[in-house]
Chains A and B, each alone.
Chain A
Amino acid sequence: METGVVILIGLFFTVAIYLMLSKYLVRMLLGIAILGNAVNLLIFTNGRLLREVPPLIPEHLYVPEVVTANPLPQALVLTAIVISFSFFAFLLVLAFRAYQELGTDGVNEMRLAEPEDDPTPPQGY
């Protein structure tokens, strides 16, 4: 089962990287959203996949009797989801504000902070 998920993760990364190589902000942001999901799946798979074994401990024991699903990657993924979601929300607003102010979502045209026709520094007095 892991092999299948790994291939899926690979596809996610491919799509994410392809989108992030675009010079348009909206596509880049979509790429980042997919990248976040690819990473989450990767962490999840790294905790090893098991089917339908609930981590229940019988009453007379302190540890589960059988190998159960690993809860730690789920906690990690949950953290990562929350973080990447908030970042994505922020970046969406940022991109929208940048589009409003700069009138473009193409990063090649965003040259306000680093103007292309910046004159050379003074050569002498």
Chain B
Amino acid sequence: MAGSSVSVDLSQAMATAPVAAGDWLVVAPSLLTILGGSLCLMLRKNTDLQPKVGIGFLGVLVLANVALLLRVLDHGVITMVMGSWLPPFGIAFTVDTLGATLSLIGAIVAFCAGVYGAATVDSTGRRYGFYPFLLLMMTGVSGAFLTGDIFNLYVWFEVLLISSYGLLVLGNDRIQLDGAVKYGVLNLVGTNLFLIATGMLYGIFGTLNMADLAQKVASLEDPASGTLATVAALYFLAFAMKAAAFPVNFWLPASYHTPNIVVSAVFAGLLTKVGVYALIRVFVLILPASLGYLSDVISVVAIATLLTGALGALAQSEVRRLLGYVVIAGIGSMLAGVAVGTTLAISGAVFYAVHSIIVMTALYMMAGVMAMLGGSYDLRRLGGLYAKSAAYSAVFLVLASAVSGLPPFSGFWPKVMLVKAAFADDRAWLGAAILVSGFLTMLAMGRVWIFAFWRGGPEGTPDGKTASVTTVPADGAPQVSGGAVWVPLGILTALVIYIGVQPEWMLKLSTQGAGGIVEPLDYLRSVFGVPG
């Protein structure tokens, strides 16, 4: 037939060399989780086998991410194009240190959540698909961290969003439906804004590959022109909604306390940070000029987020809602890093994201333990937990100090970097806001400590007495303290302490990750080959 005899030089449009075996790791996180998720879906009715399969796949996911990160550190940025079509035509997965680090931390947290879920999600919850949803959400999270194509990023956002809807309504309680309505509508509006901005970006440049976009934006005569400013503002609003920055943060405290505690834990750890990651990726890599004139706006938003988060936490008596506000305060710190925009500030933001992913998940898991020991999430009804378990109290104290930014735990170093960067960039207010917010968070967490752990018993217990009421664990909290509770909590707490005492590793990763997008030469070279 016609055409079959004509030899076509495909090397202009396609990568002809086979993909190096190690480079398949780039897509491994997404593939593994899709595979595991589908398998768990097939095992829907076998509620005993499902956790084993799910946790097994999450464990392999952690290993694959370790291998990927090591390969990125070894070989530099790796690009893999789908269908071998050369960029900018094929969809590219481009993994740099930033993406690989966050993907690894996300996988660790998901693994811990999978284990913890074995204790809190009953067989009904499993039959409704806790493990499939968790794994498929990780598909979206990993994909978002690893992709190098902005429309593909949108698709991964939707993948994780639809799975998160499933997790959020798992159990079908009235309160969950209420929370899910607000979470669902506002997040959908957020992703639509993201899509609008992406469509307009495509209209301007005719490409969706992030590296290609970065080059084309940089080669513009006026990179801060009107149309691009609209796009930048839309992106900022969209990602701010995803990240729960003030004043578009209200969906978070309305919904994060409603689902099963392990779902809250993994949401608090991962979802908002994907928004922050996208913000960093789009603004620092693609639209650095827009970051220049938006930085004052981002500063104000960061300060407002830091303060509303911390003050909101002080005003709550429900532990999970309190922690929701602490998540928001943490988002403020990361936004502060983006606002300053220097390499030090961005690496501070990345480091803070890593810290926040670990510590917020651990704190929500700790809240589950508190509800197991004390039978409630309400500070008025909690008390005397120190007498019940000194070990868990110690874990709480570590996590509470870490989230407030006290040394020697993981929250201290990124705060040092962010405050230093803010003052070096002449943004004293921003630095001060980070410190004040840290102080207020410490007060809020200290109050949890005093009320739930330190005092003798629930409200009404006389001073100096220890109430010896036996309490029934709250619904949705772990029912007994077993390996499924203390192993994940132990892993995360150990990480918090390790990063606090030995920050060099994480410092190196975050500095390299931030450097790789502030000066994206390696990133561009990886996508387009060596420039001629």
Contact = CB atoms under 8 A, between A and B. Distances in A.
A87 B463 CA distance: 53
B177 A76 contact: no
B199 A76 contact: yes
Nearest to A13: B196
Contacts of A110: 178, 181-182
Interface in A91-125: 91, 94-95, 97-98, 101-102, 107, 110-114, 118-122, 125
Contacts of A112: 174-175, 178
B162 A42 contact: no
Interface stretch (B50-58, B250-258, B279-287): B250-258
A102 B173 CA distance: 10
B185 A32 contact: yes
A116 B512 CA distance: 47
B250 to A, nearest CB: 9
The number of chain A residues touching the other chain, given as a range, is: 35 or more
The number of chain B residues touching the other chain, given as a range, is: 35 or more
Nearest to A121: B317
Contacts of B202: 43, 46-47, 72-73, 76
Contacts of A25: 181
Given A102-B178, A112-B175, A83 B315 contact: no
B436 interface: no
Given A87-B162, A122-B379, A42 B181 contact: no
Contact of A122 (B169, B178, B380): B380
A72 B150 CA distance: 14
B145 to A, nearest CB: 20
B8 interface: yes
B379 A121 contact: yes
A113 B184 contact: no
Interface in B166-201: 169, 172, 174-175, 177-182, 184-185, 188-189, 192, 195-196, 198-200
Interface of A: 20, 25, 28-29, 32, 35-36, 39, 42-43, 45-48, 59, 62, 72-73, 76, 79-80, 83-84, 86-87, 90-91, 94-95, 97-98, 101-102, 107, 110-114, 118-122, 125
Given A94-B180, A98-B180, 13 more contacts: A32-B185, A42-B196, A43-B195, A45-B203, A76-B202, A90-B162, A107-B181, A112-B178, A113-B179, A113-B258, A114-B253, A114-B254, A125-B463
24 contacts: A42-B196, A46-B200, A72-B202, A87-B188, A90-B165, A90-B184, A91-B188, A94-B177, A97-B172, A98-B177, A98-B181, A102-B178, A112-B174, A112-B178, A113-B182, A113-B255, A113-B257, A114-B253, A119-B317, A120-B315, A120-B317, A121-B316, A122-B317, A122-B379
